Structure 1
């Protein structure tokens, strides 16, 4: 029972330590704008109708 508890504790601590803040930067589009200008939001919709 002690060995099982030790293995589970070690596994959980390794999982907790492996997560980092680097995961926030994985799915960022470098070509996307952070702030869209309202003048350019509907220009394609207005042009194509």
Structure 2
């Protein structure tokens, strides 16, 4: 999944229905299935994935 920084206010995902991303979200409960993310929220999700 790719994200785009929109004027340092929020991140917008460019997710386009990838079956791999959908499967990973289902198996590992990553929570990466929204269209918009606040920077604080996305950074927290990334930190949880990497630990």
Q: TM-score, normalised by structure 2?
A: 0.25
From the CA coordinates, give the structure whose radius of gyration is larger.
1
Q: TM-score, normalised by structure 1?
A: 0.26
Greater fraction of residues in helix: 1
Task: Report 1 or 2 for greater relative contact order, CA contacts < 8 Å, sequence distance ≥ 6.
Answer: 2
